[in-house]
Structure 1
Amino acid sequence: MASQKAQQRRILGELQDMAQEPLTPSEIFRRADEVLREAVGFDGVCWHGTDPATGLVTSVLTDDLRLEDFSHAVELEIWSEDVTQFADIRRSGRRADTLSRATNGQPGLSRRFREQIAPAGFGDEMRVLFDTAGGHWGCAAFMRAPDRGSYRPGQLALAQRAARVLGTALQRSQLTLAAAPFTTQPPAVLLLGPDNRVTHADEQAERLLVEFADAANRVFAVPTPFVMAAEQARAAHASGNVPPPLRVRSDTGAWFVLNTSLLGGSGDATVAVVITAASAADVMPVVFATYGLTTREREVALRVLRGDDTREIARTLCMTTLTVQDHLKSVFTKAGVRSRRDFVAHLIASQVPVVWD
C-alpha cells in the first residue's frame, strides 16, 4: 500500500510539473499517455478537446483505436441513453467513472460496450473529464483488455486525481496559445448531409475547414466540431430542444462559434452549419474560466471592463468597497496583472474587446 501511494505521488508530481510547461493540448495528451498508461492500466485511449463552455467534444486524438469507429461513437454518445456518458459523469459530480463500476460488474448492460467496446477487443472502459476552474477543457476514454479484468478502485482514484491536474494543464494551455485578432468577416456556411459529409460550402467555409482539420477528416472528410454540431442539431430537434452553439478555436488561435439549423423535419436531415467569428460575449466566459475566476470575481471583472469604479461596482453588486477590492486583488492575481489598467491591457493583448455591453 505504501509503495502504491508513493507511485501515485510520483505520477501526480510528474503531471504537475508538466502542467507548468507551455504545451499545446495534443502535447499534453501525449505526455499524459506516457505517464498514466501503465499506472492506470489502459491499453487504448481516445483523447478529446472540448468547448470550454459547454463540454461538447471538438477534437479527437488517438493512436490506439480505429478512427473508422468514431462515426458510431458519435452516434452512441449523442443518440443513445447509456451509462457513463460524458455529460452524465459531469452531472454526477465525478471526474471519472468505469463501465464495470457503473454496471455493478455487468458491462454488457451498456449498449456502447456491446456495439463498440467489446467488438474492438476491450473489456472495460474508464471515462475521465478534465474540468476545472469552471471550464470544460477536455475528456478521454481509456480502454482495457479483457484479460486484465476490471479497473480497480485505486486506478479509478488515481485517474480522478490526475484529471484535476490535466484540467489545469489544459486550462493553462489556452493562455499560451497565440491569439488571433477578432474579425468582422461575414459568416461562412456549409451543408452537411445525413452522413455528415459536405454537400455544399461557400468559399470561406472551405478555407475554415482546413484551419479546423483533425483526425476526424479521415472518417467524415470534415473536422470533429462540425460533425458534433450537426449531430447535436439533429438530436435537439428530435427532442424538441434548441442545439447549443459550439465554441471552437482554429489553428490560427481565433475563436469561432458554430450555430446549426436543420433543413427538414427528420433526424437524418441535412444540417446547415453557420460559422461566425466569436464576439467578446462568446469568448468572455472562456477567458474568465481560463483565469479560474469564481462567479463573483467574474461579475466584478465585467464591471471593470465596463469602466465602473470601485464604488459603482459595490453599489451595482450590493457589496462593500472592501469586498470589491478583495475580489479585484484576486482577479488581478489570477490574471497575472497588478492593476485595472494592466488587466484591460492584458485582455487587449489577448484580442478580447473590452467594450462588452
Structure 2
Amino acid sequence: MRRLQTDIEGICRLGLDSQTLRSQVMARLRQDVRYDAFCFGTIDPWTLLVTDDISAGIPPGNAALASYNEYLEADVDKFADLARTGRTVGILSHSAGGDPRRSLRFHTVLPVINAEHELRAVFLADGECWGAVSLFRRGEQTDFTPQEAALVRALSRPVAVALRRACVNTSPTAAQGVPGPGVLVLDKVGRTVVANETARYWLHELGTLPLHEVAAAARAGRGEEAYLRVRARTGRWLSLWGSTLNGEPDSGASVVIQPTPVSDVTRTLARAHELTAREQEILEQVISGRPSMGIASVLTMSQYTVQDHLKSIFAKFGVRSRGQLVARALGIPSADGTA
C-alpha cells in the first residue's frame, strides 16, 4: 500500500492539468488494483455533480444513462452518499448485501461495458469532494476486495488536493467575444429537443456530460443543487442551471448555460489557491475593477494592508500584476499576452 500511495502522491505534486493528472493516477493505480474499464470525473464540491470525466473501456454516448441512475434511481454507493458520509469507497456487491443484482445499476449501467463488478470512490479534502471514480471488472474476473478498497481509500486526500489545484490550471485561449446565455430543452431520456445557437457554442467548449448532470439533478428535485460551475476547454468559467418543464420530472428539463458569476469563480479559486477569507474578498474586488483605495474603503482597512494582501495573492497565483491576476482568475488572456 505504501508504495502505491507514495507514487500517487508524487504524481499529485507534478502540477498537471486535470485530465493528465487523472490519466496518470489511473495508469499507476492499475498496477495494484486491476480493472477492465473506468470512469473518473471531477466534482463540483458544492452541488456534488460531475463536471467532466475521462474514461477507458466505456462506449461513448452513455452520459444520460449514467446520470439518470445517479440522480433519479434509488441505488447504493451514490457519489454524493460516499462524499457526505465520508465512507469514500464502496464495492457494489458488498453494499448490495452480497448480491450485486439488487442494484439497478447492475442491470442498466454495467451491461453497457459487459461488467459485473464495480468499485466506486470519491476524493475528499477538508470535507469537500473534488473527484469520483468508478472501476469495473467483467464477469469472468474476481470481484474487488476490501484490501483493494483500502488501497483506493488511502489516495482520497492527495488526489482531492491535486484535483482542487488542477481545476484552475487550464491555460486560457484567445477570447472571441462572449455570447449571451444558451438555452436547451431535453426530453425525458436526455435527447436535445431545442437548443439556441449560443447553447451549441457553449456545448462545443463543455461537452455533453455537464448538461445531462444538471438535467437529471433537476428532474430528481434537487432544486438549487441542479447547478454546476465548470471550467471549459478554453479556460473560461461557465455555469449551468437545470430546471424541470412545468414542474413535471417526466416532461424533461431545460438547461441554461452562461458565464459564471464572479462570486462563484472566486469561491472556487479560494479553495484551489488556499486563499484566506480576506484574500478572497480582495480578489473579488480586484476582479470587479476596484482600485486599492476603493478596496480599502469598502473593506475598512488601510491601503498598505490591501497591498500586503495583494502581494500574497499574486504569489499564490504566480502572477505579477492585477491584469495577469484577473486573466488567470477568469480564464482569459491578459493584456500582455500571458496566461
Which amino acid letter does the alignment assign opposite residue 126 of structure 1? L
The answer to whether the 8 A contact 1:260-1:273 is kept is yes
Mapped partners of 2:82, 2:254: distance in 1: 30
Mapped partners of 1:83, 1:343: distance in 2: 49
**Which ranges of structure 1 fall in alignment gaps of 5 or more residues?**
1-7, 214-222, 314-323
Which amino acid letter does the alignment assign opposite residue 36 of structure 2? D
The residue number in structure 1 matching 2:169 is: 176
Of the three residues 218, 224, 234, the one matched with 1:233 is: 218
Of the three residues 142, 145, 151, the one matched with 2:138 is: 145
Three-state SS of the structure 2 residue aligned to 1:81 is coil
Using the TM superposition, give the Cα deviation of residue 267 of structure 1 relative to its aligned residue in structure 2, in angstroms.
Answer: 2.0
Mapped partners of 2:180, 2:63: distance in 1: 32
Of the three residues 71, 90, 105, the one matched with 1:97 is: 90
The residue number in structure 2 matching 1:335 is: 316
Which amino acid letter does the alignment assign opposite residue 272 of structure 1? S
Three-state SS of the structure 2 residue aligned to 1:176 is coil
Answer yes or no: is 1:351 the counterpart of 2:333.
no
Mapped partners of 2:245, 2:137: distance in 1: 41
The residue number in structure 2 matching 1:318 is: none
Answer yes or no: is 1:291 the counterpart of 2:273.
yes
Identical aligned pairs, as a percentage? 26
The residue number in structure 2 matching 1:18 is: 11
Mapped partners of 2:278, 2:90: distance in 1: 33
The residue number in structure 2 matching 1:253 is: 235
TM-score, structure 1 normalization:
0.76
Answer yes or no: is 1:85 the counterpart of 2:85.
no
Three-state SS of the structure 1 residue aligned to 2:31 is helix
The answer to whether the 8 A contact 1:55-1:136 is kept is yes
Using the TM superposition, give the Cα deviation of residue 333 of structure 1 relative to its aligned residue in structure 2, in angstroms.
Answer: 10
Using the TM superposition, give the Cα deviation of residue 106 of structure 1 relative to its aligned residue in structure 2, in angstroms.
Answer: 2.8
Using the TM superposition, give the Cα deviation of residue 102 of structure 1 relative to its aligned residue in structure 2, in angstroms.
Answer: 2.2
- The change in CA–CA distance for 1:200 and 1:12 in structure 2 (over 3 A counts) is same
Using the TM superposition, give the Cα deviation of residue 88 of structure 1 relative to its aligned residue in structure 2, in angstroms.
Answer: 0.6
Using the TM superposition, give the Cα deviation of residue 120 of structure 1 relative to its aligned residue in structure 2, in angstroms.
Answer: 4.4
Mapped partners of 1:254, 1:19: distance in 2: 24
Mapped partners of 2:326, 2:127: distance in 1: 22
TM-score, structure 2 normalization:
0.79
Mapped partners of 2:225, 2:85: distance in 1: 22
- The change in CA–CA distance for 1:298 and 1:97 in structure 2 (over 3 A counts) is farther
The residue number in structure 2 matching 1:196 is: 190
Of the three residues 101, 109, 131, the one matched with 1:116 is: 109
- The change in CA–CA distance for 1:146 and 1:270 in structure 2 (over 3 A counts) is closer
Which stretch shows the higher mean deviation, 176-185 or 16-25?
176-185
Q: Number of matched residues?
A: 317
Using the TM superposition, give the Cα deviation of residue 141 of structure 1 relative to its aligned residue in structure 2, in angstroms.
Answer: 0.3
- The change in CA–CA distance for 1:183 and 1:233 in structure 2 (over 3 A counts) is farther
The residue number in structure 2 matching 1:302 is: 281
Mapped partners of 1:122, 1:97: distance in 2: 16
Mapped partners of 2:148, 2:114: distance in 1: 21
Which amino acid letter does the alignment assign opposite residue 230 of structure 1? A
Mapped partners of 1:206, 1:119: distance in 2: 28
Whichever structure has more helix as a proportion of its residues is 1
Mapped partners of 1:288, 1:146: distance in 2: 44
Mapped partners of 1:59, 1:151: distance in 2: 25
The answer to whether the 8 A contact 2:205-2:234 is kept is yes
The residue number in structure 1 matching 2:57 is: 64
- The change in CA–CA distance for 1:348 and 1:125 in structure 2 (over 3 A counts) is same
Q: Cα deviation per residue 1:199-243 (whole Å; 9 max; x = unaligned)?
A: 222222221121113xxxxxxxxx11111111211221xx7x444
Answer yes or no: is 1:276 the counterpart of 2:258.
yes
CA RMSD of aligned residues (A): 3.4
Using the TM superposition, give the Cα deviation of residue 289 of structure 1 relative to its aligned residue in structure 2, in angstroms.
Answer: 1.4
Using the TM superposition, give the Cα deviation of residue 352 of structure 1 relative to its aligned residue in structure 2, in angstroms.
Answer: 4.9
The answer to whether the 8 A contact 1:335-1:343 is kept is no
**Which ranges of structure 2 fall in alignment gaps of 5 or more residues?**
286-294, 332-339
- The change in CA–CA distance for 1:337 and 1:70 in structure 2 (over 3 A counts) is closer
